[in-house]
Structure 1
């Protein structure tokens, strides 16, 4: 196995989960049904801030760069808010923080980028619909950073993994992050009286 195969396997294994996390219902879940601009921004800011804190606690250039990107995203997002006090981390970041060891941390980072990339696309679409093209463009621009973080993590995985078992360890960590995000999405929508399954 190599990192390209690993990414394909991850995306195929959790294809349904990623599809639903990239749907408009995902944004509805993140804001607990409060689909105004401020809750959308606050949910994204919480994700960026808590992810940055996690990456800052890990050793390695990949994680330092990921922290820098996440901090930059946070600054861009909160510039749209009057004030922001960071809340609890979303489930994806909690699962990210639980990764233990370089290989698991790299895998979890890949999983995190797959989740937040889709959520940022939804946020961009939301602000386009709200006739706020500047904010929509800000979220759209995050996609290049997520690509860069993911590619860097995959490159290092190819250097770090000496066996199929180690690639599988990275795969497990990535899917754990995605599944945590999906479980949170599913449970939140159910609590709001919505059917989480259909993609919209």
Structure 2
């Protein structure tokens, strides 16, 4: 698999879903409708707090470079969760942007594909979070979220590179695409379900 083909194919297959997951309505869903800086930080921290333990479990089941990536990404997620809101839990039974869709992948190819897709979704959302703080004239938080987004992109690049190296057959490539698509679809289910539960029409991007 070419290192760019996984993400390019995922974007082509789920362009509408990804565009909505990077919209202001996705921020509204993340914050439960509380569009202020503290709510953005808490919502992001909750998602990262749910994401980190999954990466830790994958680290224990993986080997070599994949295990190292999952370990480093888990530490990154936990660290930023603490930075954004040290008191935030994972939300208990609340729905999560990507974490709820990540239990299924079962081998390194599927896990790397799931991680790459999850990091792509969070990267898209983080772009809107940066914009939120820019619009709020909160330069410090905007810079903090820019750093967060840049690191998301770095881990996403590494996951895609390792995935490309691990895909040795058409079956591997198909499994990777299926795993990645499932994560984007799960994130979109979170987006639609959360907004509908709040009485908000999810399909019009603002």
Using the size of structure 2 for normalisation, the TM-score is 0.89
Query: Would you say the 8 A contact 1:45–1:74 is kept in 2?
Result: yes
- State the partner residue of 1:155: 161
Aligned to 1:23: 23
Q: CA deviation at 1:91?
A: 4.3
Give the Cα–Cα distance (whole angstroms) in 2 for the partners of residues 184 and 86 of structure 1: 15
**Partner residue, 1:137:** 143
Instruction: State the Cα distance separating 1:111 from its structure 2 match.
Output: 0.8
| Rounded Cα–Cα distance in structure 2 between residues aligned with 1:86 and 1:147 | 23
* Correspondence for 1:34: 34
Q: Which runs of 5+ in 1 are unaligned?
A: none
Give the total of aligned pairs.
Answer: 197
Distance 2:187 2:40 in 1: 16
Structural mapping, 1:148-187, within 5 Å: 148-187=154-193
Q: Secondary structure at the match of 1:58?
A: helix
**Alpha-carbon contact 2:101-2:182 (below 8 Å) kept:** yes
Deviation at 1:16, TM superposition (A): 0.4
For residues 135 and 97 of structure 1, the distance between their equivalents in structure 2, rounded to whole angstroms, comes to 31
Distance in 2 between residues matched to 1:87 and 1:188, nearest whole Å: 14
Q: 2:100 aligns with which of 83, 91, 94?
A: 94
Q: CA deviation at 1:34?
A: 1.8
| CA distance in 1: counterparts of 2:159 and 2:89, whole angstroms | 30
Deviation at 1:51, TM superposition (A): 1.1
1:131-168: CA deviation from partner (whole Å, max 9, x where unpaired): 22111111111122112111111121122111011011
Judge which range, 88-97 or 143-152, deviates more: 88-97
Shift of 1:75: 2.3
Q: Work out whether 1:70 is the aligned partner of 2:70.
A: no
Tell me which of 124, 128, 132 is aligned to 2:130: 124
**Structure 2 contact 98–118 (Cα < 8 Å) conserved:** yes
Find 2:89's aligned residue among 85, 88, 108: 85
Is the CA contact 2:17–2:184 (under 8 Å) kept in the aligned structure 1?
yes
TM-score of the pair, normalised by structure 1: 0.91
Unaligned runs of 5+ in 2: 60-66
Q: Deviations over 1:165-197 (max 9, x none)?
A: 101111111111111111111122222222211
Look up the match of 1:44.
Answer: 44
2:182, 2:143 → 1: CA distance?
Answer: 30
Determine the structure 2 residue equivalent to 1:58.
58
